[in-house]
Amino acid sequence: MAKTLKLIAPPGYSTVVPLDKQRHAGLRVRSADDYAWCARLNAVFINAAEFGKAAPDFPIAFARDPQSGEFMPMAVLGLREEQNLFVDREGRWRKPAYVPAYFRRHPFCIAEVPMPRGEAPQRMVCVQEDRLAADAGLPLFDAQGQPTVTWAPVLALLEAIENARQQTRVLCRRLEALELLTPFDAVAMPRTGEKLRLRGLSRVDEEKLQQISGRDLRTLLKKGELRAVYAHLLSLENFARLLDYDQERAAPR
């Protein structure tokens, strides 16, 4: 008996299914500008390639992936549980803040399907099916299941995210191997109410960074990773910005 493929939806997504050119022919993506679906995500995975664009808006910290145990970079979006300070009550993204690729790819994602005998997992394009409709925008595939011009940029984004994700894993493994990551708590002191604290985060230790060998420093520089490291360090100033946004949202209207 064939085993049923169970796909685990990424955080914020509801159930996802494999994208099927025949089954989903003629369907369109509902409004891509509706971010209500991620209004309760207070942090999101971000690729190292995005650090430069994201650093002016969000704190970027590192946290361990509960599944793999590896470090991964996260854009911190809120100071409280289930708080995304970049999505308003109408589901609109705060402008002109950068929109992480994780959100721009929605409702699509890439799932890795385990293979037998230790073979490398296969990648499968999946979609949150309830975000597709027959009466919104341009179709992804025509009646014959052939991709339309709408699908090309979506596929390009998904492929770019996956390629950057692998590069980001290399960066995180190097930072861990060099023992540059150190735990820290993000603490915010609102004008009223209790102190806010985010735990389970790590950051690059600047003192240790200054002490690494010339060879390791040249590797970080040659790989383009040193730029990402400094973008991460500069971004940590944005915790103060999150506190301002939090107080702005809490203020009586």
- Tell me if 54 sits within 8 A of 73, measured CB to CB: no
Give yes or no for residue 190 having a pLDDT over 80.
no
User: Is the overall model pTM greater than 0.75, yes or no?
Assistant: yes
Per-residue pLDDT band at 155 (split at 50, 70, 90): very high
Per-residue pLDDT band at 177 (split at 50, 70, 90): very high
Mean pLDDT, residues 66-84: 93
Mean pLDDT, residues 208-221: 95
β-bridge partners, 45? 74
Q: What is the pLDDT of residue 113?
A: 74
Q: CA–CA separation, 74 vs 64, rounded Å?
A: 10
Dihedral sign from CA coordinates of 157, 39, 245, 89: positive
Please provide the average confidence, as pLDDT, over all residues in the chain.
89
**What share of the chain has pLDDT > 70, as a percent?**
94
What does the pLDDT look like over 233-246, one tens digit per residue?
Answer: 999 999 999 999 99
Q: 199: left (phi > 0), else alpha (psi -120 to 50), else beta?
A: beta
Token pair for residue 9? 């939806």
What is the C-alpha R_g of the chain?
20
Mean pLDDT, residues 173-187: 94
Which one is predicted more confidently, 195 or 180?
Answer: 180
Q: CA–CA separation, 76 vs 78, rounded Å?
A: 6
Amino acid at 114: P
Give yes or no for residue 1 having a pLDDT over 60.
no
Closest CA to 172 of 218, 123, 114, 232: 232
